[in-house]
């Protein structure tokens, strides 16, 4: 995972206290720019993003949404939630952890695609599409607090949550209190169509919704926001079951390879967000490779680095072309203060990564940054820029880029990169300050100067509008 050095430390039981969370990727950065860590718990991970994108791609295509170029945003929240806004699909780690099979998540994605294709909540989606990713997540966590509080009691947390909402995210509140019953019926029917078109079962969707109907919460959180925004009366679920069973694919299972990737994702999330004990508990229910992967991750995070390295090398022996095993090798070597060896591992990971994640080149760039020689710093700039070309909104990537430029003595480009980092974190005032600083040193009309001007001219979407 990128830049999240010790995720587990920050995952408080009360995820609702947005300001108490300090998961921003900028934290790992040190000197150059943690002043505005937004406290937004976004998890960036090449492996999980690629997997969820693989889940979503055929469904979105079947829904006629193939050209929307959907970006996956993982939110570190134990509650169950998933939705799409603009070209971003937000999925809570809690939903991924809860789903025992890929089909369960694919079913939820199909249902969401049904809402989008049906034009439900369009105006709201437009508003969300214009906002920056981190601003949306912050707003949603606030809104989640409000909803959770309102559903369980009228004091304390609920009141605090309502304050957060009033302060900035009316739109998110309405999103959570979202869909009409008629829209649910439409989305269910569309979901079945997409699943049939892609030869997949609706069993996972049905199972998820049935569990929501029977239990208060799937994830153990107070109330899952997904449950609140998607009303699930008994007759709706009964109708869905009838439709699902009519499909010739009802009994079709996910492929073994996909199930294995799913299991590896779950053990990784567990290791990062729930600590060692929860990971070992989960490992007991997983197959050989996923279990060994979880063990290696857990050893890397909580145990002995030398042992983590030998476990990872054994994994690489089993699957030499798995980019993420090489990535883990790089993570371990970086933590062991061996940036040159880490660079080799990440270079292999970048080469093997068919999903072409921007995260891996940025991690490679960080190893060059750690080496610190002028030659290495130039390589850092090249790799980080390559990562940012693939992943334009990667706020922490800009901060590493700023650091590399700064160490090379290129103050103008360092200021511009810092401006971009603030911009993509949603800290527009700071972004403008650094953009103005950069402009003073950049040639008027040059691409950098023009980018700085764009940031200076940017108008944040109004929060007060209804």
> Which residue's CB is nearer to Zn ion, number 159 or number 237?
237
Query: Least CB distance from residue 392 to Zn ion, whole Å?
Result: 30
The reply to whether 230 sits near Zn ion by the rule CB under 5 A is yes
> Which residues have CB under 8 Å from 225's CB, separation 6+?
79, 80, 81, 140, 143, 144, 147, 148, 176
Select the span of 12-20, 225-233, 316-324, 425-433 touching Zn ion (CB under 5 A): 225-233
> Which residues have CB under 8 Å from 110's CB, separation 6+?
59, 63, 190, 191, 192, 194, 195, 202, 205
Output the six-digit token pair for 47: 């492996």
Helix spans in 303-410 (H): 305-318, 323-335, 339-352, 359-371, 374-390, 395-408
Helix spans in 101-202 (H): 102-117, 122-130, 133-152, 157-168, 170-176, 181-197
> Which residue's CB is nearer to Zn ion, number 174 or number 441?
174
Kind of pairing, strands 82-85 and 42-43?
unpaired
Kind of pairing, strands 71-75 and 88-92?
parallel
Select the span of 52-60, 143-151, 173-181, 282-290 touching Zn ion (CB under 5 A): 173-181
| H/E stretch holding 241 | helix 234-246
CA distance 142 to 119: 25
Output the six-digit token pair for 54: 């693989």
Query: Least CB distance from residue 69 to Zn ion, whole Å?
Result: 23
CA distance 227 to 383: 42
The reply to whether 173 sits near Zn ion by the rule CB under 5 A is no
> Which residues have CB under 8 Å from 167's CB, separation 6+?
142
> Which residue's CB is nearer to Zn ion, number 176 or number 345?
176
Angle between helices 323-335 and 359-371 (to 10 degrees): 30
Query: Least CB distance from residue 139 to Zn ion, whole Å?
Result: 20
Chain CA centroid to CA 285, Å:
25
CA distance 385 to 333: 23
How many residues form the binding site for Zn ion (CB under 5 A)? 4
Tell me how many degrees the CA angle 330-95-65 measures, rounded to the nearest 5: 90
Select the span of 8-16, 229-237, 264-272, 341-349 touching Zn ion (CB under 5 A): 229-237
Query: Least CB distance from residue 184 to Zn ion, whole Å?
Result: 5
Query: Least CB distance from residue 311 to Zn ion, whole Å?
Result: 41
Query: Least CB distance from residue 187 to Zn ion, whole Å?
Result: 5
Select the span of 118-126, 160-168, 184-192, 235-243 touching Zn ion (CB under 5 A): 184-192
Ramachandran region of residue 236, left (φ > 0), alpha (ψ -120 to 50) or beta?
alpha
Tell me how many degrees the CA angle 207-212-218 measures, rounded to the nearest 5: 95
Select the span of 171-179, 195-203, 312-320, 342-350 touching Zn ion (CB under 5 A): 171-179
Angle between helices 395-408 and 374-390 (to 10 degrees): 160
Query: Least CB distance from residue 240 to Zn ion, whole Å?
Result: 11
Select the span of 150-158, 186-194, 212-220, 293-301 touching Zn ion (CB under 5 A): 186-194
Subset of 187-216 contacting Zn ion (CB under 5 A): 187
> 3-class SS at 71?
strand
Select the span of 94-102, 168-176, 222-230, 442-450 touching Zn ion (CB under 5 A): 222-230
Query: Least CB distance from residue 305 to Zn ion, whole Å?
Result: 45
> Which residue's CB is nearer to Zn ion, number 118 or number 168?
118
Query: Least CB distance from residue 48 to Zn ion, whole Å?
Result: 23
Query: Least CB distance from residue 129 to Zn ion, whole Å?
Result: 19
> Which residue's CB is nearer to Zn ion, number 230 or number 326?
230
Query: Least CB distance from residue 77 to Zn ion, whole Å?
Result: 19
Select the span of 178-186, 210-218, 347-355, 357-365 touching Zn ion (CB under 5 A): 178-186
Subset of 314-373 contacting Zn ion (CB under 5 A): none
> Which residue's CB is nearer to Zn ion, number 175 or number 279?
175
* Residue 139, number of CB atoms within 10 A of its CB: 25
The reply to whether 125 sits near Zn ion by the rule CB under 5 A is no
| H/E stretch holding 74 | strand 71-75
Rounded-to-10 torsion of CA 259, 260, 262, 266: 130
Select the span of 177-185, 210-218, 238-246, 318-326 touching Zn ion (CB under 5 A): 177-185
Query: Least CB distance from residue 191 to Zn ion, whole Å?
Result: 9
> By beta-carbon distance, which residue lies closest to Zn ion?
230
Residues of the shown chain interacting with Zn ion in the complex, contacts defined by CB under 5 A = 179, 184, 187, 230
């Amino acid at each position: 995972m990128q830049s999240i050095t010790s995720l587990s430390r920050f995952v408080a039981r009360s995820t609702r206290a947005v300001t108490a969370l300090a998961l921003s990727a900028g934290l790992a950065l040190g000197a150059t720019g943690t002043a505005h860590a937004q406290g937004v718990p976004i998890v960036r991970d090449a492996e999980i993003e690629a997997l969820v994108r693989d889940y979503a791609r055929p469904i979105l295509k079947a829904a006629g949404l193939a050209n929307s170029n959907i970006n996956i945003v993982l939110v570190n929240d134990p509650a169950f939630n998933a939705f799409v806004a603009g070209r971003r699909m937000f999925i809570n780690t809690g939903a991924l952890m809860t789903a025992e099979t890929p089909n369960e998540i694919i079913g939820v994605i199909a249902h969401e695609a049904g809402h989008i294709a049906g034009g439900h909540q369009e105006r709201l989606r437009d508003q969300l599409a214009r906002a920056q990713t981190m601003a949306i997540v912050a707003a949603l966590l606030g809104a989640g607090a409000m909803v959770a509080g309102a559903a369980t009691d009228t004091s304390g947390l609920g009141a605090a949550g309502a304050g957060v909402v009033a302060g900035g995210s009316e739109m998110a509140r309405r999103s959570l209190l979202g869909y009409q019953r008629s829209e649910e019926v439409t989305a269910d029917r569309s979901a079945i169509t997409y699943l049939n078109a892609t030869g997949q079962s609706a069993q996972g969707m049905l199972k998820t919704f049935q569990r929501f109907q029977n239990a208060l919460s799937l994830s153990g959180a107070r109330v899952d926001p997904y449950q609140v925004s998607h009303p699930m009366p008994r007759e709706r679920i009964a109708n869905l079951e009838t439709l699902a069973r009519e499909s010739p694919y009802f009994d079709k299972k996910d492929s073994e390879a996909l199930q294995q990737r799913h299991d590896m994702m779950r053990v990784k999330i567990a290791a990062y967000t729930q600590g060692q004990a929860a990971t070992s508990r989960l490992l007991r229910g997983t197959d050989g490779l996923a279990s060994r992967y979880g063990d290696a991750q857990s050893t890397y995070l909580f145990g002995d680095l030398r042992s983590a390295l030998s476990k990872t090398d054994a994994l690489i022996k089993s699957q030499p072309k798995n980019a993420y095993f090489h990535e883990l090798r790089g993570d371990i070597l970086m933590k062991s203060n061996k940036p040159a060896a880490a660079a080799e591992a990440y270079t292999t990971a970048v080469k093997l990564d068919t999903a072409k994640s921007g995260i891996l080149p940025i991690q490679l760039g960080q190893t060059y940054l750690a080496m610190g020689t002028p030659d290495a710093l130039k390589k850092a700039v090249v790799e980080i820029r390559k990562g940012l070309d693939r992943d334009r909104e990667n706020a922490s990537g800009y901060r590493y880029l700023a650091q590399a430029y700064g160490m090379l003595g290129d103050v103008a480009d360092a200021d511009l990169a810092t401006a971009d980092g603030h911009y993509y974190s949603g800290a527009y005032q700071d972004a403008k300050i650094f953009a103005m600083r950069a402009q003073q040193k950049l040639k008027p009309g040059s691409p950098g100067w023009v980018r700085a001007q764009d940031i200076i001219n940017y108008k944040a979407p109004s929060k007060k509008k209804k």
